[in-house]
Structures are given as C-alpha cells and as structure tokens.
Amino acid sequence: MDVYYSVFLLSIFWQGCHGIMWSLAPNTQKCLKEELHANVLVAGEYEVVEAPGQRVDYIVRDSKGHILSQKDSINKGKFTFVTETYDTFEVCFISKVPPERRGVSQEVFLNIKVGFEAKNYEGIGEAAKLKPMELELKRLEDLSEAIVQDFTLMRKREEEMRDTNESTNNRVLFFSIFSMVCLLGLATWQVLYLRRYFKAKKLIE
C-alpha cells in the first residue's frame, strides 16, 4: 500500500478551525501530521464520499504508535482527544479495495479544531447559564491563555536553543585549544628529536 504524508498546521490557535479536502486514491493512505503541546484538546470532523465496494478507515496516533482514536468503514463522523505530552500526532485515512474490484478515488473532507476552538462554548454557556457577553468573555479569556502558552513555549525553545549554541561554542573552543596544545607539543618534540639526531650524526654541535 502506498503511503502519502503531508504537513497540516494545527498549532496556531488563534486562526480558528482548519478544513482540508483531498482525493484519496484506491488502496492508499494519507496522513496529516503536526506537533502539539501537552494538554491540548483536539476535535475533528470528517466526511468521506461513498464508493460501492470500497471502504475507508481512519486512525489517530502519536509518534510512539499509541492509538488515540480509530474507526473502520467510516462515512461521516467526529473524533476528539486530549494530548498528554508534547509530541507529533498524525491522523491517517486508509482506503481499502478488494483485489477483484477496480477502485476509484474518494473525496475526503477533514475539519480540525485545536485548543480553545475545539471547546463547545454553546454547551459551556448552557451548563453554566452564561449570558452571551459572558460567554464571549470566556472565549476571549481562553484565547488569551492559549496565546500566552504559545509564547511561553516559544521562549522556552529559544532558551534551549541558546543553551545548546553556547554549549556547542564552548566545546568547539576547548577542542581548538586542545588541538593547538597537541600541535605545539608535537612541533617541540620534532625539534628536539631532530636536534638529537643531527648531534648523533655529528652534523651539528
């Protein structure tokens, strides 16, 4: 079975939902991959155009192969999961056609919401009996928290990269000093050796 991978940006929280549509060839699979923070809610909605005698399965898993959501013979539905750690996650759609049939391509539509956009604010408002203004303030508060968390992670990554660069520079400096000392030592040994050799041959006094 042929495998096709493509990158799907999910980590920019304030851009809202992300929808994508593609044509899935018979007996192939396509996976959408993205890195996500820990404790992030992800909600997806999919729809597959039916084809007689064919079926499409989907599976959601992390980089370690842990299955977060899975379903066979899909047509239309939803899935949700919460990330436990910072990791790379992928959503794969797999086309399966019997050998005796000549398959056709199927259109697949996928709409994914990440972070605060994946929350059902209508349900939250009804459960907490919030007014429309209060519900909008709640949504803006969650948006602000998501942006702050994103900038915090960016700052942490910057600090890690800076520490790595400083550590690499120090190692290169120590290696350069060590190399110079070795070269100077080797040069001194060669001079002393040649001097003893020439004295032994009585070529110099």
- The Cα 145–Cα 128 span in angstroms is 20
Under 8 Å between Cβ of 21 and 109: yes
Among 8-12, 117-121, 168-172, where is mean pLDDT lowest? Answer: 8-12
Residue 141: the pLDDT is 83
Query: What percentage of the chain exceeds 70 in pLDDT?
Result: 90
pLDDT band at 100 (very low <50, low <70, confident <90, very high): confident
Q: Residue 161 pLDDT more than 50?
A: yes
The per-residue pLDDT of the chain, averaged, comes to 84
Average pLDDT rounded to a whole number, residues 182-188: 94
Amino acid at 166: E
pTM to 2 decimals?
Answer: 0.62
Ordered DSSP codes for 137-157 = HHHHHHHHHHHHHHHHHHHHH
Per-residue pLDDT tens digits for 23-53 = 999 999 999 998 888 888 899 999 999 998 8
Residue 8: the pLDDT is 38
Average pLDDT rounded to a whole number, residues 157-161: 90
- Coil, helix or strand at residue 190: helix
Q: Specify which residues 32 forms β-bridges with.
A: 6, 91
Residue 170: the pLDDT is 92
Under 8 Å between Cβ of 95 and 107: no
Average pLDDT rounded to a whole number, residues 122-141: 77
Average pLDDT rounded to a whole number, residues 112-120: 80
